[in-house]
Amino acid sequence: MDDDLKLLDSFERIYQVIKQEVNNLQEVKLVYVEMIRRWEKEIKSYARILEEISLPSRLILEHILELKQKSGQMAVEAESINQGFAPINYVGVEEFGVVKISTGSIELLWRDADYNYLLYPNKAELRTIDEKAVISLSFSHSFSPKHLQKFAGGLNSPQLLYIHPTLQKFMEQE
C-alpha cells in the first residue's frame, strides 16, 4: 500500500493544524469549535484505519466509507439486532483497534483483534475468534474489483476465514 505513508503524513499535518486551532479557540464557546474538535477526532480515526487494524477489516471499512460517500446503505444483523438497509452516519477506529460504525439508529463497536472475517460480494460476516458471536453486514453495493485488488495482501491474513471465489479472483488479478 504505497499511498498509506503519504496519507498518514497528510493526516498528521492536518491533525496538527486542527489541534493548534482547537487550542487557539479554547475560550470560544460556539458550536463551530465543537465541529472542529469532531474533525480532529475524525482525522485521528482515519489514521488508525491505516495503522491499527487488519487488512480484511480495513477492506470492509474502506468499502463502507465508499458507500457513505456515494449515499450507499448498509444492513446489520447481530444476535437480537436486525436493522434493514440504512444510511451510514459514521465509520472510524478508536484506540486499541476498536471499530465503530453508526448506521441508521444503531452504533456497532467491535475490537478488530477479537474477530475473524468472511467476505462475500455484497456482504461481510464478522465472527468472534471463539465463534460465539456473529455480526452480518450487508451492503447496497458489492465490493468493486479495483478496491479488491488494492487489498490482495489480505488474502494471507489469518483473520480472513473465507472469501467468495469471485472476490478472490479479483484480488489475485494483477
Classify residue 171 as exposed, middle or buried by CB count within 10 Å of its CB (0-12, 13-18, 19+): buried
Q: What is the mean pLDDT of the chain?
A: 92
- Pair 65, 39 in one domain: no
Q: What is the pLDDT of residues 101-117, one digit of tens each?
A: 999 999 999 999 999 99
- Pair 45, 74 in one domain: no
123: domain CATH number is 2.30.29
| 173 has pLDDT over 90 | no
- Structural domain tally of the chain? 2
Q: What is the pLDDT of residues 142-161, one digit of tens each?
A: 998 888 988 888 889 999 99
The per-residue b/e assignment along 83-112, b for 16 or more CB within 10 angstroms, e otherwise, is: beebebeebbbeeebbbebbbbeeebebeb
- Pair 94, 136 in one domain: yes
- Pair 80, 94 in one domain: yes
Is the whole-model pTM more than 0.95? no
Question: Containing domain of residue 8, as a range?
Answer: 1-51
End position of a domain, from candidates 51, 74, 92: 51
